Amino acid sequence: MLLPIFLIAQNEYPSFSSDELIKIEKQHGMITKNRVLDYEENVRQFQELPKEKQILFVNRYLNQLLPKYDDENQQTTDYWETPKEFLITGYGDCEDYAIIKYYTLIKLGLNEKDLFLTKVYEKNKGGYHMVLSYFKNTNSSPLILDNLSFRVLPLEQRIDLQADVFIGISGVYRLNNKNTLLPLKKLDKKFQELQRKIIKEQKN
């Protein structure tokens, strides 16, 4: 069953109520509350920018949050944090950066159909990594927002990366050599779990 993902975008997620901010300060301290407020203020400022600069500024701003592996941060492996969890903990793994960038850009008005959490293989270091892909135009190389780089470049210029799968609201895809997304399956289990957590956050 498909979750009502469109509700998340319409609700301007992530945003924090005054009650949430009071709770955050009480449970996590003033530094955490200030981090959340700083995020909200920067997103408000980004709203005045053209789309191309929004992408650059979101990537640069969120890359300033510190990386931390899942087994250190959440005491589990391959845990996908919601953007609210990421902002409250102040740490994240590569997928957590991709996720918060995904929702921040949707919050700024980009079409969620053009954004994909993207699993890539790092050719130089070896091993898999996750980034966010933005398809500005059909059949063009997507722009890559990477927590390991402050530059936003087309995938074709990221010779260090080999794209594996693209995960979005419409399903899971692979990219062919013509920059066309080819469907693999309709749902991704981890993405659906993330959606359920976010919907639960909105209800609380």
Residues 130-143: what's their mean pLDDT?
94
Token pair belonging to 125: 């270091």
| Confidence at residue 27, expressed as pLDDT on a 0 to 100 scale | 97
Tens digits of residue pLDDT in 5-53? 444 544 589 999 999 999 999 999 999 999 999 999 999 999 999 999 9
Residues 174-199: what's their mean pLDDT?
94
DSSP-derived 3-state class of residue 161: strand
Q: How many Å is the maximal CA-CA distance in the chain? A: 52
Tens digits of residue pLDDT in 77-89? 678 999 999 999 9
| Confidence at residue 77, expressed as pLDDT on a 0 to 100 scale | 60
| Confidence at residue 117, expressed as pLDDT on a 0 to 100 scale | 98
Tens digits of residue pLDDT in 40-66? 999 999 999 999 999 999 999 999 987
- Kindly write down the DSSP assignment for every residue of 95-156, as one continuous string: HHHHHHHHHHHHHTT--GGGEEEEEEEETTT-SEEEEEEE-SSTTSPPEEE-TT-S--EEGG
Query: Token pair 């059949």 is at which residue?
Result: 139
Q: What domains appear along the chain, each with residue ranges and CATH number?
A: 6-203 (3.10.620.30)
| Confidence at residue 11, expressed as pLDDT on a 0 to 100 scale | 54
The C-alpha atoms of residue 151 and residue 140 are separated, in whole angstroms, by: 18
Token pair belonging to 77: 């492996």
